[in-house]
Amino acid sequence: MSLGRISVKTVFLLTCGGMAASMLVICAVLVWMTGEIWVLTTGGLLMLCALAWMFLLTVVFSKRLSVFTKELCRAMDQMISGSGEPVRAVDSETLFARISYRLSRLYDIMQENRRKVDKERQELQILVSDVSHQVKTPVSNLKMVTDTLLTKSVTEKERREFLQGIQNQTDKLEFLFQALVKTSRLETGAIRLEKKDAPLIDTLAMACSGIVYAAEKKDICVTVDCPEGILLSHDSKWTAEAVFNLLDNAVKYTPVGGAIRISAEQWEMYVKLSVSDTGKGISESNQAAIFRRFYREEEVHEQQGVGIGLYLTREIVTRQGGYIKVVSEPGKGSEFSIMLPVR
């Protein structure tokens, strides 16, 4: 029989039986050695008293164990159902108090994990909703164009226009998927930003190279004011990506003949990197929302984009210990400032 399966009653019977047998043997030996019968009588009375006390102790212990088991089961049921935190015992010296304390700690950990799971589930639902919304329009346009080409006869000029529309929608989908991959790899930690000392001017040159052609097409003047001596501990590749997103937006929303200025200042603890333009500007009510994933103002939907660039920029900056802010006035332009720690 396994010791873990022996009941309290069985333990009591075995203990009493062992004590009775031991005392009978001792009394018998004493009677044999002394020849006195009263020794046997006294031993019998002592044995009965011991058995009585053992019975009383077992009853009290059994009731106490029953109460302990009941409280423990109730505490665990509360934890499983999530109906409330287990009640801690007032007396901190008892066994149940020590166990209830650990159960309370376990409950807190379970609740924290549950909150994390709920938060991740909500974020996943929002992400799926946002992606579905972004994909829905180009997919609908592609379906409409292909249905038209398959069911109706069109001229060569119309066919070229339809094909150009298909290319535009596929480009939008490709841009969306690339942005989602970058964001996902950053958020999941698949990509770790590696900060190294590097000249900031090289990072800005890398960012500017991506908007030169688009700026020339709109006759936008791009100026860079960055001292060559600024050495910054940063991830040059991803910082260039963040600055490029700001410049790309500046080119999109700056009218023909406008201007974009990039500047850098060395402060004691931070390096301030600013991108200003003479574009349409952002209303104060929308300035907090522009950094949300997939957010786009209603009046700019005619411009190509999916609304993930500023969100990605903020993620890159904050993961390097910095922050980003915006100052803007409708009709006059915007200035985005990135603050990156020197070390």
| Cβ atoms of residues 109 and 85 within 8 Å | no
d(CA 251, CA 304): 12
Dihedral-angle region of residue 294 (phi above 0 means left; psi in -120 to 50 means alpha; beta otherwise): left
Is the CATH number of domain 128-187 1.10.287? yes
Domain boundaries, the chain: 3-84, 128-187, 196-341
d(CA 205, CA 342): 19
pLDDT digits (tens, 9 = 90+) for 40-97: 677 677 777 777 777 777 777 777 777 777 777 777 777 677 666 666 555 556 666 7
The H-assigned helical ranges of the chain are: 8-34, 37-81, 95-151, 156-187, 200-208, 212-217, 236-253, 309-318
For residue 270, give every residue at least 6 positions away whose Cβ sits within 8 Å of its Cβ, in sequence order, or none. Answer: 322, 339, 340, 341, 342
What are the CA-CA distances from residue 66 to residues 2, 4, 47, 54, 87 (Å)? 21, 17, 28, 18, 17
pLDDT digits (tens, 9 = 90+) for 262-299: 999 988 889 999 999 998 888 887 887 888 876 766 55
Quickly state the pLDDT bin for 213 (edges 50, 70, 90). Answer: confident
Residue with tokens 């969100």: 311
Class of domain 196-341: alpha beta
| Global pTM value | 0.58
